[in-house]
Amino acid sequence: MSDESLELELIGCLQENRYLIVMDDVWDVKAWKYLKDLLPDDANGSRILLTCRLFDVAWAIKRHSDPHPLRLLSDEESWMLLEKKVFNDNNCPQELVETGKEIARQCKGFPIAIVALAGLLRMTELSRDSWTNVAEALVSQIIDDPQTRAYNVLELSYNHLPENLKPCFLYLGVLQEDKDILVSKLIRFWLAEGLIPKTEAKSLEDVAEEFLMELINRGLVIISKRRSNGRVKACRPQPLIIDLCMAKIKEENFFQPYASFPSSGYGFEFDFFHQTGPLQFASYRLAVYSNRNHFVQSRPSGAGTRSLVFFASKDSEPRWPYDISFILRNFKLLKVLDFECINIVSFPVEISMLIQLRYLAIGGYLTSIPQSIANLRKLETLVVKGLRGKIVLPNTIWRMTSLRHLHVSIHVTLDSDDEEELEDCFVLENLVSFSRLSLPCGGDSEWTMKRLPNLRKLSCIIFQRQDSSANHNQFPSLNLLCHLESLKIFYYGYHLNNGEFNLPLTLKQLTLSNFHLPWSCISAIGRLPNLEVLKLRSEAFVGRTWDMVEEEFLNLRFLSLDTLDIVQWNASCDHLPRLETLVLQNCRELRKIPPDFADISTLEIIEVNWCGVFVEISARHIREATGDVKVVIRSLYWRP
């Protein structure tokens, strides 16, 4: 939607209705000024609640009442919060209560300090001596200012981190150009920097996820978004912890920040502004926040720099193509290069000569990657953010045996013109995630699948060749990917032969779009023994009636139906015995949710987005019948 359409939608939703709007963590007046004229005041008891850390901003945006400073917690409230965070619903052992209350008192009523300290205590031995050591460390900080004391408590939590977790934590500060940090991107940076140790029992990605969960459990990081399977999709440090992170980055010279102007909003204290001429850096890691043109024209250099991460400023500069060929000459030892938001037209051959690269992200109007990319034998992550058309990967990609993550934001194909060259290709044993690969129907994909033996996550486009032979009308041999857990497929072509899916039994998550198959073909998916998440989008299946069959979808926990023409859904609680989340979106012909779903003991949430009114009613009936199923509705129809 355009901004104008969205404004009209919002006004239409709120007009003559009583509403409560909460704007949390407001940092400047602009957000409020933009929104306030869209909020009708019908004198009917509507309220707007804003929270803010900056008192001058709160005064600037006050409307009908003065800002209300939140009080600090009392000593008793502090202890109750600390006990709950450390022991959940259990009570603190009696021998630790006195020491625990002293620890809570030393936090001076700051909830964020208490939560962070609880994370530290959870990782500490449950003994009087261990807790006494923490209490004495707090008492030694004889600072009376409560906010300074809160900061010092957080610093204590940082100091008690295992040494291998400290650089992982500091990386969160580097990536907080937006509040939400994608976990997948964060983990790839950790891997490229060598921050994750290798183990025989677990993959590097699993170990990295455990590191993140430990930071979360210690209260230093909060979860902002979860995936359909419950795992963390995005996270962020809390505001006061960001301050700690920035201070430690500067103190330990972990990253050098640079901005081309002071009002970057990046969170760092910058040392360089409006500098003319070439920029020279001596730091090991460099984070740049600048407009693209200023950065490229300044021809920066860093003889010892190993990591260069660029964040484009949010300005109105045109995104024309840029020449980044100077990178090889000026940053010869790079291991990490993130130029995802600097647009280029062709892949610079100079980048292929940065033989130490572990992480490379580029973007722009690319159509192909040169064969010289194979010079990057140590490359583990390749991200290409294309802006149009498709991108062709060269045959030499099969020689890059260190690759773990290969991601292209648009249609990507593999160059297979030189069959003799292909005979000498290697197997990419380390590759665990790949998107968005184009695969032809039939047996032509078998060669590719056999060279991706350990792939765990795949996003692909399956298409039919113009040849109408039976072989080219069959599902590709994805069942050869015997470690695949997550699969997204968009289909482009005529109906598949018999609607047969050749899928690996290891699949846990599956997303299908545009297959236009009858519902009778869904049993091949329902029989997958480990399937936990299923998303059916854009007419993946067509037909007015879905008759579910028993002994299928026995382990399904998440089901999403999006933009399907289904009218009648015949199912009972026995067909989805472990379902936890049901999402229905743009299924406007659907008459109702099967009422028997109220008897699914595991069901936690039903989300209905832009469906018919009868689906909304049936969702509310299930909530009333169970008493504890959460129902979220985004309606097509505004009603007071």
* For the chain, domain boundaries: 3-60, 75-154, 166-248, 255-431, 508-640
List pLDDT tens digits, range 9-22.
888 888 888 999 99
CA distance linking residue 583 with residue 60, whole number of Å: 41
List pLDDT tens digits, range 136-192.
877 665 445 556 666 777 888 888 889 999 999 999 988 865 568 999 999 999 999
Share of the chain above pLDDT 70, in %: 88
State yes or no: pLDDT of 438 exceeds 60: yes
In this prediction, residues 65-94 reach a mean pLDDT of 89
What was the pLDDT predicted at 117?
85
> Any idea which of 96-100, 297-301, 354-358 has the lowest mean pLDDT?
297-301
Instruction: Look up residue 87 and give its two tokens.
Output: 């022991």
What was the pLDDT predicted at 297?
84
Band of the pLDDT at 419, cuts 50, 70, 90? very low
In this prediction, residues 130-134 reach a mean pLDDT of 88
CA distance linking residue 414 with residue 437, whole number of Å: 8
Contact 497, 524 (CB under 8 A): no
Band of the pLDDT at 261, cuts 50, 70, 90? low
What was the pLDDT predicted at 378?
96
- Comparing 16 with 572, the larger pLDDT belongs to 572
Instruction: Kindly report the CATH number that applies to the domain delimited by 255-431.
Output: 3.80.10
State yes or no: pLDDT of 558 exceeds 60: yes
What was the pLDDT predicted at 443?
66
State yes or no: pLDDT of 263 exceeds 50: no
What was the pLDDT predicted at 472?
62
Share of the chain above pLDDT 90, in %: 50
The full DSSP string for 454-519 is: T--EEEEEEE--S---GGGGS---GGG-TT--EEEEEEESS--GGG-----TT--EEEEES--EEG
Band of the pLDDT at 105, cuts 50, 70, 90? confident
Give, in degrees to the nearest 5, the angle at Cα 320 between 317 and 323: 115
What was the pLDDT predicted at 272?
44
State yes or no: pLDDT of 281 exceeds 90: no
DSSP 368: B
What was the pLDDT predicted at 566?
96
- Model confidence, pTM: 0.82
At 431 the three-state DSSP class reads: coil
The strand pairing partners of 384, in sequence order, are 362, 408
What's the farthest any 2 CA atoms get from each other in the chain? Answer: 81
- CATH architecture of the domain formed by 166-248: Orthogonal Bundle (1.10)
Per the prediction, the chain carries an average pLDDT of 86
The strand pairing partners of 207, in sequence order, are none
- Comparing 624 with 346, the larger pLDDT belongs to 624
What was the pLDDT predicted at 146?
58
State yes or no: pLDDT of 264 exceeds 50: no
In this prediction, residues 334-348 reach a mean pLDDT of 91
Give, in degrees to the nearest 5, the angle at Cα 606 between 602 and 610: 165
In this prediction, residues 544-557 reach a mean pLDDT of 95
Residues in Cβ contact with 42 at an 8 Å cutoff, skipping those fewer than 6 apart = 15, 16
Band of the pLDDT at 575, cuts 50, 70, 90? very high
Class of domain 508-640: alpha beta
- Comparing 264 with 555, the larger pLDDT belongs to 555
List pLDDT tens digits, range 187-198.
999 999 999 999
Band of the pLDDT at 371, cuts 50, 70, 90? very high
Question: Does 75-154 carry CATH code 1.10.3470?
Answer: no
Distances in whole angstroms, Cα of residue 602 to Cα of each of 227, 528, 578: 18, 20, 6
DSSP 372: G
Domain pair 166-248 / 508-640, same fold: no
